[in-house]
Structure 1
Amino acid sequence: MMQKRVNRSMWLLRSVLHSNSRTLSSSSSDVDVLNNVLNNQVLVEGNGYTRMAILNRPSALNAINTNMATRLHKLYRTWEEDPHIAFLIIKGSGRAFAAGGDIVALYHLINQGKMEVCKEFFRTIYTFIYLIGTYMKPHVALLNGITMGGGAGVSIPGTFRVATDKTIFATPEVLIGFHPDAGASFYLSHLPGHLGEYLALTGEKLNGVEMVTCGLATHYSLSARLPLIEEQLGRLVTDDPSVIETTLEQYGDLVHLDSRSVLQRIEIVDKCFGHDTVEEIVDALEIAASETKDAWCISTLNRLKEACPLSLKVSLRSIREGRFQTLDQCLSREYRMTLQGISKQISGDYCEGVRARVIDKDMAPKWDPPTLEKVSEDMVDQYFLPLSESEPDLELPTKIREAFF
């Protein structure tokens, strides 16, 4: 009986997530089951002066879908207006905080021609990210485990980010024919030197120590201490960020960068990734690799050669523009870029990248264009053009909520 109930729940969930046109002729019990399944994708804990949102799709590494983003947005708005709630905490269940947006679901929706559903997803998550970046109450993100793409987007604009010994951060979108989005062009562009370009163009990972060292995280703690941190935060009766910070520092741990860390190589990162074009960056790495035979230069070069050529050029320009834009401007531009990227009017690289790395897993994407030399300026420019009159831009409440991130 239990197995039949679970199967029924999953059928109902798939009906909503994958069939925009189907109308469910369901009983009230079916609706209750469905609502329960959807609500359980974001759990709520806390009492007194705190509330905790728990991303709860552990089998999908807490990949964020439209339902989760919508529920988070509603919860956060309610909590912000509640005078009895002082601050918020967000974490993930299982071995991830959040691996990003649900790229598999998007892949299927694009191939089914359900572009409006895709647009709704991006509008919803980008708007939620702006809410976090303008939130009037302290926000603590516990980044224990995989924190990538959209997962970083829903945490980094907040007040505090606690990385751990299990944290793995990356913005690997260029490896699937996309661009670092969800506010990444803002926070990556504000990292020291040209570290942001390096992370955006290679998709390489940082650990928790590296995150706190470069400023992506505000605190570092061993994952074994997290239950104690959660307990102490739950006892606080304050909305004073300094008191929350003191608590996080009290249970923090010292960080020591590994000698092999990219943060020990900032000089060569700046030298190579500070060039104006992707071609010049590749040339600089090739020269450095041939002169020094350095393993880091060689592996970095190989990562660039794995990535989508069009995505590399689009992402470099995105990071460079992000240096001179506010969070809302970056999100609005990224939305335009995203619609261009998934429309297949310029290239089908996004679906091809997801197919090769996640669906078929043959790791052999056929990029279009296949090389940097064949990526024209016009193709790159098209990503940054205003949308058509019939296609509205992302609307963010900038007049009533000004980002201070």
Structure 2
Amino acid sequence: MQRAKAFEGLKRCVSRRGHHRAFSSQPNYARYHDDHVQDLVMVEGRTKSRAAILNRPSALNALNTAMVSRLKRLYESWEDNPDIGFVLMKGSGRAFCSGADAVSIYQLLNQGNVEECRKFFETLYKFVYIQGTYLKPHVAILDGITMGGGAGISLPGMFRVGLIKLEASSNPLIKSEVQVCVTSYCCATFLQVFANPEAQMGFHPDAGASYYLSRLPGYLGEYLALTGDKLNGVEMIACGLLHIYSLNARLAMVEERVDRRSILSKLEGVDRCFSHDTIEEIIDALEKEAADSYDEWCTTALKKLKEASPLSLKVSLRSIREGRFESLHHCLAREYRISLNGISKQVSSDFCEGVRARLVEKDFAPKWDPPSLKEVSKDMVDCYFSPLPEFEPELELPTASREPFM
């Protein structure tokens, strides 16, 4: 009942154009310097509400430690403020959030500053847990690119909203020329992309990804985690990643917009292929599916799997499978182990190699270690899930005082 009332309150707010403008207009932030932490996360709001605005548009609002620390402090203070009714988060520019600032992490690792990297992951995962246990309605407006850690800081929200511009239409239900704050249940004119491309970068889906991906229909989560494939706003609604805010008469529009080319129209094939226990079996199933159906999605998925880090594929599959049976805090604790064991380079340097190849030098020719699936041993994968060294504390979350709603 409490969430229903909060949703109705949100509905009234976003239907008033003036109030919407106060939250979603994007002022000119060029005069601010990105290095100043208060300018990396701006604050807007009215008497009963607050909005956190990710403000690194030149970096697609990629997260660094300063940004996540500020978000965590803001959300904690807003939760304790009895005068604030609900909280909102959005991004400036053409992205909500492209995830962690992987290039900065890469540079820190090359400088030997592992401690700063550890601090980033610790702060990020703690913030995700705060969102998943938040006591007030909080909304994420996914306007534009939402990837990796960007998904992690948006999906724990009580409501997840797509900011779109409705196309002009003869249908009076959807005819509009103004920007409105609604879920993306019809064709968006803004670019809206959701993805977890970590395996293609030698990493693993983190920031709660093993929790929310493992709870998608069938084995869609495995597919998204392993291939890094993208979803648009309509597809996010159809699989439950976005909440629908509409009249019942509009629900059919979602089905109409999810066309035959969408991966969501191939879920039976996805389940047949990605339900297997190993990456090798998944690839064999995809090759058989491709031979039998001549469907383009199979060959595309095969190509993406063969481009990804073999070690990351096996780590990611195991993480998603374990996430199916775990709570949010258990998923975050496991992902923290995987992240720290991964950046330690004790088993492989695939993360640094993936970032180098895709984001730094951009030769798109990573030299994975090991280079093939058959060379990835069970012991290698186990190392990523092993307890951290004695001198390295595990992730501590306030589970005694904060119970997840997710």
Into which bin does the TM-score normalised by the smaller protein fall?
0.7 to 0.9
Counterpart amino acid of residue 388 in structure 2: L
Residue 42 of structure 2 aligns to a residue whose secondary structure is strand
Note closer, same or farther for the CA distance 1:304–1:397 as it changes in structure 2 (3 Å cut): same
Partner residue, 1:394? 395
Q: How does 1:33-112 map to 2 (within 5 A)?
A: 37-112=36-111
Counterpart amino acid of residue 367 in structure 1: W
Counterpart amino acid of residue 209 in structure 1: V
Residue 246 of structure 2 aligns to a residue whose secondary structure is helix
Note closer, same or farther for the CA distance 1:7–1:52 as it changes in structure 2 (3 Å cut): closer
Partner residue, 1:320? 321
Q: How does 1:344-363 map to 2 (within 5 A)?
A: 344-363=345-364
Following TM superposition, by how much is the alpha carbon of 1:289 offset from its aligned partner in structure 2, in angstroms? 1.2
- 2:158 maps to 1:156: no
Following TM superposition, by how much is the alpha carbon of 1:292 offset from its aligned partner in structure 2, in angstroms? 2.3
Partner residue, 1:369? 370
Task: Provide the C-alpha distance between the structure 2 equivalents of 1:296 and 1:153, rounded to a whole number of angstroms.
Answer: 26
Residue 241 of structure 2 aligns to a residue whose secondary structure is coil
- The alignment of Structure 1 onto Structure 2 pairs a total of residues equal to 347
Task: Provide the C-alpha distance between the structure 2 equivalents of 1:47 and 1:8, rounded to a whole number of angstroms.
Answer: 22
Partner residue, 2:246? 249
Partner residue, 1:202? 227
Q: Is the contact made by 2:33 and 2:39 (CA closer than 8 Å) also made in structure 1?
A: no
Task: Provide the C-alpha distance between the structure 1 equivalents of 2:300 and 2:122, rounded to a whole number of angstroms.
Answer: 36
Residue 140 of structure 1 aligns to a residue whose secondary structure is strand
Residue 189 of structure 1 aligns to a residue whose secondary structure is helix
Task: Provide the C-alpha distance between the structure 2 equivalents of 1:208 and 1:57, rounded to a whole number of angstroms.
Answer: 22
Following TM superposition, by how much is the alpha carbon of 1:250 offset from its aligned partner in structure 2, in angstroms? 6.4
Partner residue, 1:172? 197
Task: Provide the C-alpha distance between the structure 2 equivalents of 1:401 and 1:167, rounded to a whole number of angstroms.
Answer: 32
Q: Is the contact made by 2:197 and 2:228 (CA closer than 8 Å) also made in structure 1?
A: yes
Q: Is the contact made by 2:32 and 2:39 (CA closer than 8 Å) also made in structure 1?
A: no
Query: Residue deviations 1:33-69, cap 9 Å, x none?
Result: xxxx220100000112110000000000000110010
Note closer, same or farther for the CA distance 1:99–1:9 as it changes in structure 2 (3 Å cut): closer
Query: Residue deviations 1:281-339, cap 9 Å, x none?
Result: 00000111122222111111111001100000000000000001000000000000000
Task: Provide the C-alpha distance between the structure 1 equivalents of 2:32 and 2:85, rounded to a whole number of angstroms.
Answer: 39
List gaps (5 residues or longer) in structure 1. Answer: 1-5, 14-36, 220-247
Partner residue, 2:305? 304
Task: Provide the C-alpha distance between the structure 2 equivalents of 1:269 and 1:8, rounded to a whole number of angstroms.
Answer: 46
Following TM superposition, by how much is the alpha carbon of 1:89 offset from its aligned partner in structure 2, in angstroms? 0.7
Percent identity reads 61
Partner residue, 2:24? none
Task: Provide the C-alpha distance between the structure 1 equivalents of 2:380 and 2:132, rounded to a whole number of angstroms.
Answer: 31
Residue 46 of structure 1 aligns to a residue whose secondary structure is strand
Query: Residue deviations 1:129-171, cap 9 Å, x none?
Result: 0000000000111001000001000010110111242320000
Task: Provide the C-alpha distance between the structure 1 equivalents of 2:352 and 2:306, rounded to a whole number of angstroms.
Answer: 19
Partner residue, 1:334? 335
Partner residue, 2:214? 189
Partner residue, 1:146? 145
Task: Provide the C-alpha distance between the structure 1 equivalents of 2:98 and 2:110, rounded to a whole number of angstroms.
Answer: 22
Residue 291 of structure 2 aligns to a residue whose secondary structure is helix
Query: Residue deviations 1:248-292, cap 9 Å, x none?
Result: 436988422122111101100000000000000000001111222
Partner residue, 1:214? 239
Residue 400 of structure 2 aligns to a residue whose secondary structure is coil
Partner residue, 2:177? none
Counterpart amino acid of residue 46 in structure 2: N
Note closer, same or farther for the CA distance 1:88–1:276 as it changes in structure 2 (3 Å cut): same
Residue 275 of structure 1 aligns to a residue whose secondary structure is coil
Task: Provide the C-alpha distance between the structure 2 equivalents of 1:335 and 1:395, rounded to a whole number of angstroms.
Answer: 10
Following TM superposition, by how much is the alpha carbon of 1:387 offset from its aligned partner in structure 2, in angstroms? 1.0
Task: Provide the C-alpha distance between the structure 1 equivalents of 2:373 and 2:232, rounded to a whole number of angstroms.
Answer: 30
RMSD, aligned CA: 1.6
Counterpart amino acid of residue 382 in structure 1: C
Note closer, same or farther for the CA distance 1:8–1:80 as it changes in structure 2 (3 Å cut): closer
Task: Provide the C-alpha distance between the structure 1 equivalents of 2:358 and 2:309, rounded to a whole number of angstroms.
Answer: 12
TM-score by length of 1: 0.83
Task: Provide the C-alpha distance between the structure 1 equivalents of 2:374 and 2:387, rounded to a whole number of angstroms.
Answer: 26
